[in-house]
């Protein structure tokens, strides 16, 4: 299947998305303004912008972690604003992989437990679940680290655990928020290679928000976000 065929379907779409937060002075802070975005299936899309441009807010809205003030978001045919919290949770559990800025591992859970958490309520029995967890951790080079707490792992290992957690449910879309923003360049390179390898293997759609640490050359499409608005489409393959 060629790339053009794969891009025929839009897997994620934002229309007129606006997000504001209340300010201390009683007014409002506009984080996103009239964002329109279409993410085709199977491609890697980069959203770049400076810190505070609204990238993390946009990713949180696209993942259904927060609600837009106005506008609509459709993921895999589901209008997120029409789903209740449990349906959103189910969607995230079954179809979405999230890579957070600063990894966001649960500090008191072991590496295996952090990864297992995604599958905990998926209806898979524990032995099968643990088999999947151990397999993905082993694939990411963490065979001997199942029972280590995140604090006992190096930064690179922590990011790999986070990556394992993202990939363990075999998502159709991965949203990555500054996936290499907190690691040294060498580790960043390793993480990017691991992520891209899995994405290519599985044909997973990847949307990366970055302020410049993720190589633009790996992206099929690139948008620029500035002051809460999609400024331009910088690149389209």
Partner 1 sequence: MRELIRCAWRELGRRKRRAAATTAGFALAALILFSVGNLLCFSRQTMSDILYNVGTHIIVSVPATGSEMTSAASGPWPIDSLNEAFYSEPNVVTQLLPRALASELAGLPAVLCATPLMLYRVKDSEKGFLFSIAGFDPKDKIALDNNLCSEKDIIAGTFIRSGDRGVAVVTDAFSITTGITVGSSVKISGISFPVIGIIKPGINPGKADVFLCLDDAVSVINPRLRQPMGDRVNSFLVEVKHGRQMEEAVSQIRGRIPDCLVNTFFCSVSAIRVLGMNEGAVWILLAIVLVGVTLYAMSSQWSSIVERRRDIGILKAIGWSDSEVVWQLGLESVIQSLLGGSIGCGLGFFFLAIFPVPAWISNSFSWNGELAGIVFLVGIVVSLFCGVVAGAVPAFYSARQTPAESIRSK
- Is residue 68 within 8 Å of 51, Cβ to Cβ? no
Neighbours of 232 (CB within 10 A): 11
Q: Looking at beta carbons only, is 108 or 189 nearer to partner 1?
A: 108
Q: Looking at beta carbons only, is 176 or 219 nearer to partner 1?
A: 176
Q: How many residues interact with partner 1 (rule CB under 8 A)? A: 29
Q: Is 70 an interacting residue with respect to partner 1 (CB under 8 A)?
A: no
Q: Is 127 an interacting residue with respect to partner 1 (CB under 8 A)?
A: no
Q: d(Cα 137, Cα 112) in Å, to the nearest integer?
A: 8
* Cα 84 to Cα 80, 81, 114, 125, 129, distances in angstroms: 8, 8, 25, 26, 27
Q: Looking at beta carbons only, is 43 or 163 nearer to partner 1?
A: 163
Tokens of residue 225, six digits: 């976000």
β-strand partners of 176: 99, 208
Report helix, strand or coil for 209.
strand
Q: Looking at beta carbons only, is 29 or 233 nearer to partner 1?
A: 29
Q: d(Cα 158, Cα 138) in Å, to the nearest integer?
A: 14
Which range binds partner 1 by CB under 8 A, 84-92, 193-201, 208-216, 225-233?
84-92
Please pick, from the candidates 65, 130, 218, 226, the single residue that binds partner 1 as defined by CB under 8 A. Answer: 65
Which range binds partner 1 by CB under 8 A, 8-16, 97-105, 188-196, 228-236?
97-105
Name residues contacting partner 1, limited to 166-195 (CB under 8 A). 169
CB of 41 to partner 1, least distance (A): 21
CA 221 to chain centre: 16
What strands lie across the sheet with 221-226, from one edge to the other? 96-99, 173-177, 205-210, 44-48, 221-226, 229-236
Residues within the interface to partner 1 (CB under 8 A): 60, 63, 65-67, 85-86, 89-90, 92-94, 96, 98, 100, 104-108, 113, 117-118, 120-122, 126, 165, 169
């Amino acid at each position: 299947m060629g790339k053009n065929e794969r891009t025929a379907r839009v897997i994620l779409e934002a229309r007129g998305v606006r997000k504001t937060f209340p300010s201390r002075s009683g007014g409002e802070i506009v984080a996103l303004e009239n964002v329109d975005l279409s993410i085709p299936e199977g491609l890697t899309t980069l959203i770049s912008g400076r810190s505070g441009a609204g990238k993390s807010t946009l990713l949180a809205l696209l993942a259904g972690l927060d609600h837009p003030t106005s506008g609509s978001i459709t993921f895999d045919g589901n209008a997120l604003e029409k789903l209740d919290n449990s349906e959103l949770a189910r969607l995230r559990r079954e179809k979405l992989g999230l890579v957070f800025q600063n990894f966001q591992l649960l500090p008191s859970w072991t590496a295996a437990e952090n990864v297992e958490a995604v599958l905990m309520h998926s209806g898979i029995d524990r032995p099968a679940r643990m088999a999947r967890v151990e397999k993905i951790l082993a694939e990411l080079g963490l065979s001997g680290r199942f029972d280590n707490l995140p604090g006992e792992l190096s930064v690179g290992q922590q990011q790999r655990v986070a990556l394992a957690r993202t990939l363990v449910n075999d998502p159709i879309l991965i949203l990555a928020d500054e996936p290499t923003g907190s690691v040294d360049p060498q580790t960043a390179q390793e993480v990017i290679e691991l992520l891209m390898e899995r994405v290519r293997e599985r044909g997973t759609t990847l949307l990366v928000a970055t302020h410049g640490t993720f190589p633009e050359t790996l992206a099929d499409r690139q948008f620029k976000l500035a002051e809460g608005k999609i400024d331009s489409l910088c690149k389209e393959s």
